[in-house]
């Protein structure tokens, strides 16, 4: 019988994200004639309502935007900064060690993870406001309407949110998330049942305080968060509970605008955000892998996994040794991306040498992402997070503040040590791929240490193996962010045995879809095709 013919009209614009309510919000803005950045903002504000431990206006993040009508292509850095009161020796005497999974550091009382002293200056809202000023078409206030509606009417706890609520990170010497949900009276009322347990799958959450906060932002702009009514609430709570964040920290915050790092791969240009974001890891791995015929090795074959895993370890080690906040530590990017460096690393892999990566500093897996393309060809990709959520909900505001002080090394003298105004390296790497001057792919992921390696595999799946975006994001992945190789449960056991025979310590994940949550859109010949990682709850939405 003949193959069925496609009946759906091609999409003129598209958005993909891990939360259904957020996808709806962004798609509605695209239908209303908004730009890709407008859609991104409506989506992101809604994400902060329905994934309250993943992201929100109290968090931080990175945005990549390309506007073909003006030729502008930039990274907007909304990473948080250490408060001025955060001196290098703040917790030096209280240092207990590193978290076993590499994410963050342990100090006495976990005060760098939970509570007011764990909070860095939130940067994402300032970055969103800057993005709107430069690339927005619709009024700022209109972009809050979907999030306000969801916060007012309520939203059901979905599978992924229920899993986050129930997360217990005690094995990694971090606190169970229920401790953060019940830290404040507001959190207890919002996210716990009367019996003290977290709300479960299908429970409805309404957040009128957050609706009011979002309405204030819609009316008064982002300034209300940094110098106005909302800032006053944040600082009053900080002062009452001995926090580090000050009014001056908020008032003095400004997002950065950077140019992307651009490298060539298989005849195309891959654009990633520079430090302190994590694009350097993606770029270095691709530079190494271009020296191999990956398709000839076979997708997820033992030799393919060996080659890619070694490239992951090499790039991870190089990042740990060389990358920090560029204001405090100048990264040797030219060397790290040079042909000589990539040739040397590829030669070591061909000789069968094993790189050593005993640890990797990472981000929390509780992050979120989104990508959007509008009818005029503007492309935007953003990843934003609360890092390790602090549990702090300033009274009456409805939103949680980040706990990103956990990212900083309490020991002075290290690349990631505490310093006033310092931005910590992040693995977030929203990416755009170009063919000539034309964007053909946007891709991003939440997922902590796995962000770069997951984005990398998504890119390779499309460019080397010809997969669609949906095929690329749901294909089985693996990870090497330490000396171990972690594999998803859909990689055959025969492959695992072959890797063990090569001398690798292989850890099989019980998850069907493991290692970050990749979302993206391809734009080959102007045809938009989206993909959403099945482990999350979202989907790609096309707009005709």
On whether the CB atoms of residues 50 and 399 are closer than 8 A, the answer is no
Identify the structural domains of the chain with CATH numbers, from first to last.
262-363+431-523 (1.10.246.130)
Question: Which residue matches tokens 């902590």?
Answer: 448
Please state, in angstroms and as integers, the Cα–Cα distance from residue 521 to each residue in 54, 133, 332, 359, following that order. Answer: 22, 25, 32, 32
pLDDT digits (tens, 9 = 90+) for 137-154: 999 999 999 999 999 999
Comparing C-alpha atoms, which of 300, 301, 315 is closest to residue 346? Answer: 315
Residue 65 and residue 260: Cα distance in Å, rounded? Answer: 10
Residue 119 and residue 258: Cα distance in Å, rounded? Answer: 25
DSSP notation for 15-36: EEES-HHHHHHHHHHHHTT--H
Indicate whether 362 pLDDT > 70. no
Indicate whether 500 pLDDT > 80. yes
Comparing C-alpha atoms, which of 286, 312, 331 is closest to residue 423? Answer: 331
How much is the pLDDT for 365? 53
Instruction: Answer whether the bond into residue 276 is a cis peptide, omega within 30°.
Output: yes
Q: Give the mean pLDDT of 504-533.
A: 94
Pairing assessment for the beta strands 529-532 and 506-508 based on DSSP bridges? unpaired
Would you state the torsion angle of the CA atoms of residues 352, 358, 363, 364, taken in this order, to the nearest 10 degrees? 110
Q: How far apart are the first and last CA of the chain?
A: 30
On whether the CB atoms of residues 308 and 300 are closer than 8 A, the answer is no
Indicate whether 77 pLDDT > 60. yes
Encoding tokens for residue 174? Answer: 């971090």
Residue 459 and residue 451: Cα distance in Å, rounded? Answer: 12
As a whole number, the mean pLDDT across the chain is 93
In this prediction, residue 361 has a pLDDT band, given cuts at 50, 70 and 90, of very low
Indicate whether 319 pLDDT > 90. no
In this prediction, residue 364 has a pLDDT band, given cuts at 50, 70 and 90, of very low
HSE-up of residue 376 (Cα within 13 Å, Cβ side): 18
Helix (H, G, I), strand (E, B) or coil at 110: helix
Indicate whether 233 pLDDT > 70. yes
Indicate whether 103 pLDDT > 80. no
Encoding tokens for residue 411? Answer: 């020991």
Indicate whether 1 pLDDT > 70. no
How much is the pLDDT for 388? 87
In this prediction, residue 75 has a pLDDT band, given cuts at 50, 70 and 90, of very high
Residue 79 and residue 429: Cα distance in Å, rounded? Answer: 12
* Helices within 154-267 (DSSP H only): 159-165, 177-181, 185-191, 208-220, 223-226, 229-240, 247-251
Q: What is the CA radius of gyration of the chain?
A: 22
Query: Starting at the edge strand that comes first in sequence, how are the strands of the sheet with 438-444 ordered?
Result: 261-265, 268-272, 431-435, 438-444, 519-522, 529-532
How much is the pLDDT for 313? 95
pLDDT digits (tens, 9 = 90+) for 425-484: 888 999 999 999 999 999 999 877 789 999 999 999 999 999 999 999 999 999 998 889
Sequence length of the chain is: 544
On whether the CB atoms of residues 69 and 376 are closer than 8 A, the answer is yes
Indicate whether 341 pLDDT > 60. yes
Indicate whether 169 pLDDT > 90. no
Residue 350 and residue 291: Cα distance in Å, rounded? Answer: 10
Other C-beta atoms within 10 Å of 398: how many? 25
Encoding tokens for residue 445? Answer: 């992921």
Residue 380 and residue 15: Cα distance in Å, rounded? Answer: 10
More confident residue, 43 or 363: 43
What share of the chain has pLDDT > 70, as a percent?
96
| H/E segment holding residue 38 | helix 36-50
In this prediction, residue 60 has a pLDDT band, given cuts at 50, 70 and 90, of very high
Instruction: Just list the catalytic residues.
Output: 367
Residues in Cβ contact with 330 at an 8 Å cutoff, skipping those fewer than 6 apart: none
On whether the CB atoms of residues 258 and 430 are closer than 8 A, the answer is no
Encoding tokens for residue 38? Answer: 């407008």
On whether the CB atoms of residues 471 and 461 are closer than 8 A, the answer is yes
Indicate whether 353 pLDDT > 80. yes
How much is the pLDDT for 363? 44
How much is the pLDDT for 335? 95
Q: Give the mean pLDDT of 196-215.
A: 97
Q: CA angle, corner 362, sides to 357 and 363, nearest 5?
A: 165
Phi, psi of 339, deg, nearest 5 = -60, -40
Encoding tokens for residue 195? Answer: 């019996």
Per residue in 458-495, is it b (16+ CB within 10 Å) or e — as a string?
bbbbbbbeebebbebbbbbbbbbbbeebbbbeebeeeb
Residue 542 and residue 506: Cα distance in Å, rounded? Answer: 39
Other C-beta atoms within 10 Å of 228: how many? 17
Indicate whether 416 pLDDT > 50. yes
Indicate whether 157 pLDDT > 90. yes
Indicate whether 257 pLDDT > 80. yes
Helix (H, G, I), strand (E, B) or coil at 170: helix
Indicate whether 360 pLDDT > 60. no
Encoding tokens for residue 534? Answer: 């099945």
In this prediction, residue 367 has a pLDDT band, given cuts at 50, 70 and 90, of confident
In this prediction, residue 264 has a pLDDT band, given cuts at 50, 70 and 90, of very high
Residue 106 and residue 103: Cα distance in Å, rounded? Answer: 10
């Amino acid at each position: 019988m003949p193959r069925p013919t496609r009946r759906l009209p091609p999409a003129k614009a598209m958005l993909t994200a891990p939360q259904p309510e957020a996808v709806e919000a962004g798609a509605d803005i695209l239908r209303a004639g908004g730009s890709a950045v407008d859609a991104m903002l409506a989506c992101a504000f809604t994400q902060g309502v329905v994934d309250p431990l993943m992201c929100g206006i109290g968090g931080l993040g990175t945005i990549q935007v390309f506007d073909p009508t003006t030729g502008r292509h930039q990274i907007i850095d909304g990473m948080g900064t250490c408060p001025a009161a955060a001196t290098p020796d703040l917790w030096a005497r209280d240092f207990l060690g590193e978290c076993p999974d590499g994410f963050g550091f342990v100090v006495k009382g976990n005060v760098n993870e939970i509570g007011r002293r764990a909070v860095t200056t939130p940067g994402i809202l300032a970055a969103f406001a800057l993005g709107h000023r430069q690339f927005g078409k619709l009024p700022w206030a209109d972009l809050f309407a979907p999030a306000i509606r969801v916060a007012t009417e309520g939203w059901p706890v979905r599978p992924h949110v229920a899993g986050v609520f129930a997360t217990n990170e005690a094995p990694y010497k971090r606190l169970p998330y229920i401790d953060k949900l019940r830290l404040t009276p507001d959190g207890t009322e919002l996210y716990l049942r009367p019996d003290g347990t977290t709300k479960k799958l299908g429970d409805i959450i309404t957040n009128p305080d957050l609706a009011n906060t979002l309405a204030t932002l819609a009316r008064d702009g982002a300034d209300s968060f940094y110098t106005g009514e909302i800032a006053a609430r944040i600082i009053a709570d900080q002062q009452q509970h001995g926090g580090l964040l000050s009014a001056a920290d908020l008032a003095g915050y400004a997002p950065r605008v950077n140019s992307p790092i651009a490298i060539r791969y298989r005849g195309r240009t891959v654009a990633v955000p520079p430090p302190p974001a994590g694009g350097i890891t993606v770029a270095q791995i691709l530079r190494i892998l271009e020296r191999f015929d990956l398709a000839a090795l076979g997708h997820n074959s033992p030799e393919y996994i060996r080659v890619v895993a070694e490239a992951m370890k090499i790039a991870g080690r190089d990042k740990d040794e060389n990358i920090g906040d560029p204001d405090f530590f100048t990264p040797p990017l030219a060397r790290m991306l040079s042909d000589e460096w990539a040739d040397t690393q590829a030669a070591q892999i061909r000789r069968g040498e094993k790189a050593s990566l005993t640890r990797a500093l990472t981000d929390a897996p509780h992050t979120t992402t989104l990508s959007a393309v509008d009818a005029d060809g503007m492309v935007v990709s953003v990843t934003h997070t609360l890092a390790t959520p602090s549990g702090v909900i300033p009274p009456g505001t409805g939103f949680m503040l980040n706990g990103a002080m956990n990212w900083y090394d309490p020991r002075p003298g290290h690349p990631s040590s505490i310093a006033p105004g310092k931005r910590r390296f992040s693995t977030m790497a929203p990416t755009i791929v170009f063919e000539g001057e034309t964007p053909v792919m946007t891709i991003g992921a939440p997922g902590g240490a796995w962000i770069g390696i997951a984005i990398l595999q998504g890119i390779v799946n499309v460019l080397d193996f010809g997969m669609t975006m949906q095929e690329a994001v749901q294909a089985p992945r693996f990870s090497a962010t330490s000396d171990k190789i972690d594999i998803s449960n859909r990689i055959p056991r025969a492959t695992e045995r072959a890797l063990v025979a090569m001398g690798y310590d292989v850890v099989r994940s019980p998850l069907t879809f493991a290692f970050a949550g990749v979302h993206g859109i391809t734009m080959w010949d102007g045809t938009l095709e989206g993909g959403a990682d099945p482990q999350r709850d979202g989907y790609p939405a096309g707009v005709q």
